[in-house]
Amino acid sequence: MSAKGLEVPRIWVTWFCPYAQRAWIAAEEKKIEYIRKETEGLYVGKKFANPNKPKDFLRVNPNGLVPAIELNPAENDGNEGQNVKGIYESLICVEYLDETYPNSGTRLFPQDPYQKAQARIWIAFIDNKIV
């Protein structure tokens, strides 16, 4: 259990992926306790460049893309079932961390709905034009 009374999440990343880095940096900025799990390989088009992704990871994100946040990983370890709570897509992961740990570390999004919408506009611009 983390200091906040929540189970420590497992964050699946690949070190060279800018989207995975987004969630990884968010976890660091939030100063939350988490388990960083590195997975290898890329997803290119509709085929895995590394078809040997861990089954544990594919249960968290069946698309095989990083980042992914696995909730309650201790319950999932050794569990072959599909009842794994996972969150994926980088911006969704960042928003989840910011909302789940509002009093930890730095707030990542403004509280004001208009300012939050403006932040999302800039995020979309960077996603579409830069990354």
Could you read off the pLDDT tens digit of each residue along the chain, which spans 131 residues?
A: 555 567 899 999 988 888 999 999 999 999 999 999 998 755 555 555 566 778 888 888 888 889 999 998 767 666 665 678 899 999 999 999 999 999 999 999 999 999 999 999 999 999 888 87
| Residue ranges with strand state E in the chain | 10-13, 35-38, 43-44, 47-48, 68-71, 85-88
pLDDT at residue 29 in the model: 96
pLDDT at residue 122 in the model: 94
CA atoms within 13 A on the CB side of 50: 13
pLDDT at residue 46 in the model: 53
pLDDT at residue 59 in the model: 87
pLDDT at residue 95 in the model: 95
pLDDT at residue 22 in the model: 93
Cβ-contact 13, 20 below 8 angstroms: yes
